[in-house]
Structure 1
């Protein structure tokens, strides 16, 4: 069962409105809004439509049973995999990214480490070097990218990263569509 009062309160707060401000916009009383939010009264259909319009939504969205999407992911949600042979560690920082359009990872490369050699595929890739320095090998051409610099390319050529430096490197790497 849908808790109408709770949903109205959440929408009101999401719009940064007080009960008084919402009531004023609807020519209702603050007490009536309070009663609605506490499920002590029910709005007429006409009043509900007016409330939803002021709160920037509609009846279909309000009563839709779409589950809330997770928007924030914490470190404990990340999945990490170490590749000792290639001297890298990949952290998938958005769980189940395969269902999205982009897949962000953080790859840590030890000195002498590299990513897997990625064959040409559809899509685009972007990276931001968080620590150290890496070499992007794109279709056998090499690009040196330092901390604070970015790279962006179409993924239709063989590509991978190498850490030729003496300290570890860390890169935020985003692929679309998800590939890692």
Structure 2
């Protein structure tokens, strides 16, 4: 070999693993999509359905229960979450719905998170109810007043009500349906009509029947009863 020629080293060849590059690119793309979706829907109104029967979940009563457990007034919660007292009131009464971001802020002030708030095992779910939770409906024509003493019980397996009948009052005749009905007379005396059968019950007595015939309750002098339907039918 001539002395003026130098030996040239063979170039190094780098083998690229395109499967690894593709995997990393795909992972990056997924992360970008998640961020974009989160930003896009961050202020979307929140409507939640939960449990195996897809029952609509009421956010307002749970917010109210958490606020009371924390010993806060509506005004104090509003100040902490930088919202108006009016908005908190509307939220607790299910008049309005919060965005996800707003709900996160409120829950942070109440010492909980979204995942805990919507957990079926949440210990803060209301189990005791008072007069402020009741919903009532008066029927002046029939002389009756119905109080739903468990809010939204139509979603549950049973539906309890407190029925007050004025003198000569009556419930609306209910057509035959599946299920069972139980009642306890708190005051007065009633007559239960089931098809052609008429049954009397006075204060301290209870009744139970299968509503497979047209049925209704009347009271000559007025009465008050606790009445339960399984499944809900009131």
Out of 95, 119, 126, the residue aligned to residue 151 of structure 2 is 95
Alignment partner of 1:98: what SS?
Answer: helix
**CA deviations over 1:71-110 (Å, ceiling 9, x no partner):** 1011110001100000000000000001110000010001
State the TM-score, normalizing by the size of structure 2: 0.48
> Residue 80 of structure 1 corresponds to which residue in structure 2?
136
Counterpart of 2:217 in structure 1 is: 161
Give me the whole-angstrom Cα distance separating, in 2, the residues matched to 1:141 and 1:147. 20
Give the structure with the higher percent strand. 1
Per-residue deviation at 1:69?
2.5
SS at match of 1:132: strand
Does the residue aligned with 2:154 lie in a helix, a strand or coil?
helix
Residue segments in structure 1 that go unaligned for 5+ positions in a row: 1-61
Tell me the equivalent position of 1:175. Answer: 229
Q: Is the radius of gyration larger for structure 1 or structure 2?
A: 2
Deviations 1:129-171 (A, max 9, x none): 000000000112100101000000011111110002x3x2001
Runs of 4+ in 1 over 3 A off after TM superposition: none
Q: Quote the Cα distance in structure 2 between the aligned partners of 1:65 and 1:122.
A: 32
Would you say 1:65 and 2:119 are equivalent positions? yes
Unmatched 5+ residue regions in structure 2? 1-115
- Please, what TM-score do these two structures have when normalized by structure 1? 0.62
Larger relative contact order, structure 1 or 2 (CA cutoff 8 Å, min sep 6): 1
